Chains A and B, each alone.
Chain A
Amino acid sequence: MARVELRNIRKAFRGHVALHDLSLDIGDGEFFVLLGPTGAGKTTTLRLIAGLDAPDSGAIVIGAHDVGTWSAAQRDVALVFQYYSLYPHYTVRQNLEFPLKSKHRRIGASEIAGRVAQAAKTLRIEHLLDRKTDRLSGGEMQRVSIGRAIVRQPRIFLMDEPLSSLDAKLREILRAELKDLQMKLAATFLYVTHDQVEAMSMGDRVGVLNRGRIVQVGTPHEIYNRPRDTFVATFVGSPAMNLFAGAIRDGHLVVVPGRLEIPIGAGLAPPVALRAGRVTLGVRSEDVAVGPGGGLEGQVYAVENHGVEKIVTLKVEEQLVKVTVPAQTAIEVDGTVPFTFNPRKLHFFDVESGVRLDT
C-alpha cells in the first residue's frame, strides 16, 4: 500500500503533447478514478506510473521514493487491462500462481497456495480454480485478471478500463464488487475510465482529465455539484447538464428573449451580474421541474421513458431543455407545458473560457 504523487509531468509523443504539466496526489488506500474521454491522456498516465513509459519531465513518487529510475518490476504495481490477458491453456489456479512463481520473487509453495486461496475467496472464484480460462465467461475472466493482480500484493493497483468490454449488467455488478474489494484490501487503486457512472459510483475522488490536463479533482459529490467548467459539467451526469448562452439584462438572465428569461434574485450569484453581461448558464435536468410558477413554457419535443423516471426534452424556439420528471407524470409530445428552474441549483460559467463563475 502506498500513496502516489505525480509532479508536473509532461509527456509528448512525436510532437503531440499527451500530458501537460500534470500533478496528482493519490492517498494511501484511496480509490482514485481518472475520468476522461478517449485521447485525454488517461492510459498514458497509468503507463508512466507503471514504468512502462518515462515522462519527458516531472517526477513520480510512490510511497516515499522518487521512482523515476526504477524499472517496472521494482515499482511493484499491478496493472489490470480492459482485455484480460490470461494464459488460455492454463487453469485459473495456474494463472493465479503464475506471477508468484517468478524467480525474482522466491515465494514458498505454501505461501503461494495461501495467497491464491485467499484471492479466489475474495473474488468468489473458488469453484473455478481448476477450470481452464478459455471456458470462462467474460466476467469470470476479468475476475481472474484482477485475482492475478491481488496475489502479488502490489503497492498500487492500476486499472485501465477493466469493465468496458463487459456488457451493461455485468459492469453494474462488478462495479460494486470492485469497490467492495478495494475497501476490503484497503489498497490504493488508480482506476481509469471514460464512463462517468463508474467514476461517480466507485471513486473516493475523481480526477477529470481532458486533453492532457487535469481539469478538476474532487469527490463525486463535488464534481457533480460544483463542476469547475463546462467540460466537467457536461461530461459528468446523464443526461448532460443543459447549457444556455445568456445575456444579463435588468436582473434577468435572458436565453431566449421574452420566452426564456430567468430572474437573478438578490443573493443569487451576484458576481455573475457584474460580468460583461454575457454568461453560460448550466442547469441539470433534475433541477428543472415541469409545473407552473416560473412563467416559462416549452413545447414537448421528445419524451423518453427510463422506467423510474422520464426525460423530457422541451423546446423553446430553437433552444432544447432536458427535464427529468417522475415516471407517472403525464406528458404529451407536442403539448405545451410550463416549467421552472430551481434557483438554488443554477451554475454559471464564463462564456469564453467555460470556467465556473463562483459566488
Chain B
Amino acid sequence: MADIVLRDIEKYFGDNYIIRKLNLEIRHREFLVLLGPSGCGKTTTLRAIAGLETIDRGEILIDGRAVQGRQAADRDIAFVFQLFALYPHLTAYDNIAFPLRATRETRAVVDLRVREVARALRIEALLGKRPSALSGGDMQRVAIGRALVRRPKAVLMDEPIGALDAKLREEMRAELKHIHRENEATTVYVTHDQVEAMAMADRIAIMDEGVLRQVGSPTEVYQHPANLFVAQFVGSPIMNVLAAAVRPGDRQTHLLVGEDDAVLRFPAGLSEMVIQRGHADSALTVGIRPEGVLVSRQAIDGYIPVEAHIIEPLGPYDIVDLKLGKQLLRCRTASGYVERAGDTVWARLDEKQTHFFDYRTGESLGIRL
C-alpha cells in the first residue's frame, strides 16, 4: 500500500505534448480515477506509473522513492487491462494463484489468499472453471483477483470494465468499489466514462489534451467544476451553457441570455461580483445542470414562460428541452410532468446551482450564490 506522487511530469512526441506539467498526489489507500476523453493522456499517465512508458521530464515517487530507474516488475504494482489476459488452459483458481506461486509462497498460504480474494470478488463457486466457461464479467473478476492476490502496493486499472455490456458494468461498478473498500489497495483507475468515475472514485482527476483540469471528490467536481471543460464533461445530461451578460438593477441583477433570448432575475449582488472579477464588460458564460432548471406548469413570479420542445422520458424522470429564444435549455422533471411537446411552462434557474465562467477562458469565476 502506497502513496504515489507525480511531479511535473511531461511527455511529448516531437512538438506534441501527450502530458504537460502534470502534478498529482495519489493518497495512500485512495481510489483515484483518471478521467478524460480519448487522447487526453490518461492512459499514458497510468502506464508511466506502472513503468511501461518512459517520461521526458519530472519524477514519479512511490512511497516517497523515485521509481524511474526501476523496471515495471520491481515497482510492486499490479495492472488490470480492459481485455482480460487470462491463461486459457488454467482454471480460475490457478490463474489467481499464478502470481503467488512465482513468489514461492507455501501451498497453504496460496490457498488462503486465493480463497480470500475469491470471496471478496464473489467468484468462489467459479474457481474450478476455465476462462472459456466464464462470462465476460467473471473473467474480469478473475483478472482483478489475480492483480489483488499478491497484495501489491498499488493497483492500476485501464478501463477494466469498458468491454462489458451496460448491465454488467453497472454491477461491476458496485463490486469494484466494494472490493477496494475491503482490501484498501491504492488504486488508480482510468476511464473515459464519467458515470464510472463519479460512481467509484474517492477523487477524480480530469485530464484534457495532456493537462490536468481539476482534481476533486465526485461531489466537488460535479457541484463546483473549475472550468467549462469539467462542467460539461462530468454529468449527464450535459450542463446547459449560455452566453450571458449581467445588468445591475435596484433589487436584483438582470441576466441577459444570448441575443435578447431571455432576461432572468438574479440576486442584486451578482453583477458586482462579476465586475469585481475583472469583467467590466459584464459578459460571462453561465452554466446550469438540467436539475438546476426549475419548472412549473403554472405561472409563478420570477419564472419566465417557455415552450417545451422535446420530451425524453427516461423512466424515473423526463428530460425536457425548453426553448429559450433561440437557445435550448434542458431540464429534468418528474416523469410526465410536461405533458406534450409544444406546451408552455414556466422556468427559472436555481441561483444556487448556477455556475459562472469567464467567457474567454472558460475558467470558473468562483461565484457561489
Q: In the bound complex, do residue B219 and residue A305 qualify as a contact, i.e. CB atoms below 8 Å apart? A: yes
Q: Which residue of B lies closest to A38 (CB)?
A: B165
Interface pair A240/B316, CB less than 8 Å apart: no
| CB–CB A201/B319 < 8 A | yes
Interface residues of B in 97-151 (CB under 8 A from A): none
Total interface residues in chain A, CB < 8 Å:
47
Inter-chain contact A311/B312, CB cutoff 8 Å: no
Inter-subunit contact B173/A304 (CB<8 Å): yes
Assess whether A237 is interfacial by the CB under 8 Å rule. yes
Number of A-B residue pairs with CB-CB distance less than 8 Å in the complex they form: 102
Contacting residue for B166 out of A180, A202, A238, CB 8 A: A238
Determine the residue in chain A with the shortest Cβ distance to B176. A302
Nearest residue, chain B, Cβ from A333: B181
Among A37, A38, A304, point to the contact of B174 (Cβ < 8 A): A304
Task: Say whether B315 contacts A224, CB under 8 Å.
Answer: yes
Which residues 155-211 in A have Cβ within 8 Å of B in the complex? 167-169, 172-173, 175-176, 179-180, 183, 194-197, 200-202
Q: Which residues in A have their C-beta under 8 angstroms from that of B336?
A: 221
- The stretch among B87-95, B229-237, B252-260, B270-278 that forms the contact with chain A is B229-237
Q: Is B37 part of the contact surface with A, judged by Cβ < 8 Å?
A: yes
Flag if B193 contacts A305 (CB, 8 Å): no
B146 to chain A, nearest CB (A): 22
B199 / chain A contacts, CB cutoff of 8 Å = 304-306, 311
Is A220 in the interface zone, CB < 8 Å from B? yes
A314-354 contacts to B, CB under 8 A, are 320, 322, 324, 327, 333-334
A40 to B145 Cα, complex, angstroms: 32
Contact B314 A304 (CB under 8 A): no
Set A175, A194, A195, A333: member contacting B312, Cβ < 8 A: A175
Cross-chain contact of A308 among B37, B167, B177, B291 (Cβ < 8 A): B291
Q: Closest Cβ of chain B: how far from A8's Cβ, in Å? A: 30
Of the listed residues A173, A239, A308, A333, the one surrounded by the most CB atoms of chain B closer than 10 A to its CB is A308
For B219, the closest partner residue in chain A by CB is: A305
Task: Tell me if A33 is interfacial: C-beta within 8 Å of chain B.
Answer: no
- The answer to whether B198 and A179 touch across the interface, beta carbons within 8 angstroms, is no
Interface string of A281-324 (1 = CB under 8 A from B): 00010100000000000000111111110010100000010101
Bound CA–CA A236/B316 (angstroms):
11
Contact present for A176 and B321 (CB under 8 Å)? yes
The answer to the question of A94 belonging to the interface, with a C-beta cut-off of 8 Å to chain B, is no
B186 to chain A minimum Cβ distance, whole angstroms, is 18
Other A-B pairs beyond A173-B238, A180-B309, A322-B174, 7, CB < 8 Å = A168-B236, A169-B233, A176-B321, A202-B312, A302-B175, A303-B177, A307-B222
Q: Could you jot down 26 A-B contacts, CB within 8 Å?
A: A167-B38, A169-B232, A169-B238, A172-B236, A172-B238, A173-B238, A175-B312, A176-B310, A176-B312, A200-B314, A201-B319, A220-B313, A235-B167, A236-B315, A284-B315, A284-B316, A286-B316, A305-B199, A305-B219, A306-B195, A307-B222, A308-B291, A311-B174, A320-B174, A322-B174, A333-B181
